[in-house]
């Protein structure tokens, strides 16, 4: 189950998410990871048993097969020797999988090119990092970034606000309960 891992990236470099397969239909053991790019690195581990792990190369939306249904998996992505520049949950090709996304735990050093629909329709996304910010220097579009994210709540201790220094905040939080979005 373990593929060869490239460990050239420092731990802080990775974009890290958590996926709860119990949020998907019973028996589901895979997700479509909504990354965009080619030849990027993906590593995953079972949250409660990190010895259960694997690695693969991502190319666009990438299927990740896990060994057990109902478990929570930590999935890390990094450009590695390729390109990883977008996370795109608002696409119908990954629509069923993104219901399992429950947390973004680290932004890493990814140079994002857009956040348009990045976390759109992630109805179970509860946590995003607030102590660090994603690298949005190359981002001009944040449209519908958190569309239909009812699980994100301001009162949660782990979510205070996201600071964005962009012009396009139109519809960034449509149908979302996250209310503190600052424009610098």
Residues in the chain: 184
**pLDDT grade, residue 149 (50/70/90)?**
confident
> What separation in angstroms does the CA of 78 have from each of 13, 43, 141, 173?
7, 9, 21, 26
3-state secondary structure 156-178: CCCCCCEEECCCCCCCCCCCCCC
Q: Which pLDDT score, from 0 to 100, does residue 164 have? A: 47
Q: Averaged over 167-173, what is the pLDDT? A: 49
Burial of residue 44 (number of CB atoms within 10 Å: 0-12, 13-18, 19+): buried
**Beta bridge partner(s), residue 12:** none
Q: Averaged over 85-100, what is the pLDDT? A: 93
Q: Which pLDDT score, from 0 to 100, does residue 61 have? A: 97
3-state secondary structure 18-67: EEEHHHCCCCCCEEEECEEEEEEEEEEEECCEEEEEEEEEEECCEEEECC
Q: Averaged over 134-143, what is the pLDDT? A: 85
How far is 144 from 156, CA to CA, in rounded Å? 21
Burial of residue 82 (number of CB atoms within 10 Å: 0-12, 13-18, 19+): middle
Q: Which pLDDT score, from 0 to 100, does residue 53 have? A: 98
pTM, rounded to two decimals: 0.83
Q: Which pLDDT score, from 0 to 100, does residue 141 have? A: 83
Q: Averaged over 29-41, what is the pLDDT? A: 98
User: Which phi and psi angles does 62 have, rounded to 5°?
Assistant: -125, 130
Strands 162-164 and 181-183: parallel
């Amino acid at each position: 189950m373990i593929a060869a891992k490239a460990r050239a990236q420092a731990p802080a470099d990775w974009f890290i998410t958590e996926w709860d397969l119990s949020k998907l239909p019973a028996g589901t053991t895979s997700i479509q990871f909504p990354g965009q790019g080619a030849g990027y690195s993906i590593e995953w581990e079972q949250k409660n048993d990190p010895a259960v792990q694997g690695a693969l190369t991502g190319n666009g939306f990438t299927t990740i097969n896990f060994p057990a249904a109902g478990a929570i998996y930590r999935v890390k992505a990094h450009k590695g020797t390729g390109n990883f520049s977008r996370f795109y949950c608002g696409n119908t090709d990954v629509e069923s999988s993104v219901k399992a996304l429950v947390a973004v735990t680290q932004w890493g050093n990814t140079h994002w090119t857009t956040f348009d629909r990045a976390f759109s329709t992630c109805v179970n996304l509860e946590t995003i990092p607030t102590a660090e910010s994603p690298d949005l220097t190359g981002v001009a579009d944040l449209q519908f970034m958190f569309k239909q994210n009812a699980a994100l709540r301001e009162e949660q201790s782990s979510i205070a606000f996201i600071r964005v220094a962009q012009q396009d905040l139109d519809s960034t939080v449509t149908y979302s309960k996250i209310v503190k979005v600052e424009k610098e």
